Structure formats: structure tokens, C-alpha cells
Amino acid sequence: MTDETFDYSRPPYYSDWRTRTWTCPKCGWQGQGAELQQEFFNDLSELWCPQAPCEYKFGLLIHPGVEETRAAADAGNAEAKVMEQAFARAEQRTQSRVASRGRDLPELEGDSLEFTFTTDGGRDWMNPDWLVLTCRGREIYREPSGFEHWEAIITVSAKVLERYPGRVAWIDPNDAGACLGGDKLYYDTTIKDFLREHQVSPPLGTWSEHPTCHYYSTWSDWRTQAWSCKCGWTGTVHEARVPAAKWPFVILCPRDGSVVAEILAPSKVDRSNNINGDRYAAADTAARAPTPPTPTW
């Protein structure tokens, strides 16, 4: 494929786009396609000029499907042959997952059952090998998992509700809900809506019905924003009740004591990402580790 016929705005995935010379019409940068900055999404990647602060977008790289990969592999493309094997392994995991869901959940005693999802194994935190369901710390179910398999949380939760009708207190997607989201947008809203619809939202945490906010929020400052309660109260944390400090800590309505919001504990990554933009992050980092917050307002 010559330079005249090669589509730089939509390069074929199984082509020599990585070794071709690319020239940025905005800043003049020149280099190989492998040097381009890629922003990954579910079905495609955006290709950007790597020269800061140019931010010129060359185009889109559409991720290959099974048929395209098979055709390229048959034509001798080495990368496609590797990808074809990956597709085969993914199909095996899918079949294994279907078989897993055919197994019955165990009988459990109690009228107020609490379930929590976790993940296990995998080459990185967004690609776990297993989705695991526990009840009161006991593993009761697991199935093969992988990148962006967040819908399995809803599927398994529906199975739980069917198996234990009227006995499920709550289901907490926990960290599994976060790591299985991948690049999907609004997947968390879909999970929350499911939990809310079936009245099994956990009482606290990211997946609860009340608002949650990270301690180092880059979108809004929970210390100054207005919070509201179903009873009609509206005010800031200065006017609310904050119990004894512990992670996560909650903001309570001063009228009826219900949870208005929950502030999630910061991780090391949170502190690192916000070190230059949040004076609270800087203060906590200087102290080496954050301690449960003691309100000073």
C-alpha cells in the first residue's frame, strides 16, 4: 500500500501503520506510527500526535474483529495469528462462564443475606481471571472473568435474587465493579440502577444509593459544596453531623441522622495524582500517609 493510497485517518489494523512515517500537519513532528499516542476505547483507539502540547488527532484505529483477524492470519500476518489464538481463548472462557452459571448456588441460612463481589488472578487489575461472589466472607460462586466483564455482576446478581427471594439484604459490587468497567462509559450507573430497582444497594460504599465522593476530588470540593437530604435539609459539611473519624467517613443529616454522603478513603494513587492540585493531598503526602480526617471547621 503506497503513501498515496494509505488512509492515515483510518489505518487498517493489520497493516504497516506502526512502521510507517507519520508527519503532523500542525506542529511538524515526524516519526513512526508506533510512537503515536493512543487513547484506547472499547472498539477503537484514537491516534494523537505525541509532541506536547500539539494534541493533533490523526484519526481512528478500529480494533479488529474475529473475521478480519482470521483473514489476516490466513494471509500470513504474524500479529493476526497471535490475536486469533487470543480470540480462541476468549471463546473458551465464554463457554466456561456459561457452564459456571448453570451450577446452582448453595443453600444459605438467614433472612438477611449480604453478598460481596471480588476478583481473583489476572495479568493486571483490569483483567482478572475470576469474578468471585462471597457471602459473609465465604466464597459461594466464581466464574471466569476478563476485561470489561462488568455485565456479569448484574447477571450473577439476578441469579442471587432468584435463588434467595426476599432474603437478600444487599449486594456490593465492591472493587470488582470498578476494575471490570474498563473503558465503558456509564456502566456504573447501570449497575447502580439495577441494585436500586431491586432494593439491594449496599448501605455504604461506592455502590450505595447516597452520593459518594473521593477525598481528593478533582470535580468538586465536598468540603464546600451543598449536600441535601430526603427530609428536605440542605447545607454544607459545616452544618452537618460528622461522626467519629474513620475511613470511609460519612456526612449525616443534622435533622434525622440519615447518611447524606460518604467520603471515600484516598489511596496512594489518589495522593500522587492530585499532589500538585490539592493542598490537602500535599499535606497528607508530607505526613507520609493520611489519617482518618478530624473535622476542623
Over the chain (297 residues), what is each successive 10-residue block's mean pLDDT?
74 92 95 91 86 91 90 91 82 66 81 93 80 92 86 94 95 85 77 93 78 66 81 86 71 86 66 52 52 49
Distance CA 202, CA 188 (A): 14
Contact in structure between 168 and 201 (CB atoms under 8 Å): no
Beta strand ranges found along the chain (DSSP E): 21-23, 30-32, 37-40, 44-48, 57-62, 113-120, 130-135, 138-144, 168-172, 212-214, 227-228, 234-235, 249-252, 259-264
Q: Identify the pLDDT of residue 155.
A: 93
The CA distance from 259 to 210, in Å, is 7
Question: Amino acid identity, residue 215?
Answer: Y
Listed by start position, the domains of the chain span 103-209, 211-297
Which pLDDT score, from 0 to 100, does residue 228 have? 86
Specify the pLDDT at position 257.
86
Backbone angles phi, psi at 148, to 5 degrees: 65, 30
- Strand, coil or helix: what is 39? strand
187-214 core/surface letters (b: 16 or more CB in 10 A; e: else)? bbeebbebbeeeebbbebbbbbebebbb
User: If you compute the radius of gyration of the chain from its CA atoms, what whole number of angstroms results?
Assistant: 24
Assign 3-class secondary structure to 236-269.
CCCCCECCCCCCCEEEECCCCCCEEEEEECCCHH
pTM of the model: 0.55
Q: Judge contact between 130 and 180, C-beta under 8 A.
A: no
Residues 6+ apart with CB under 8 A from 68: 13, 14
The predicted pLDDT at position 56 comes to 94
What does the alpha-carbon distance between residue 98 and residue 289 come to, in Å, rounded to a whole number?
44
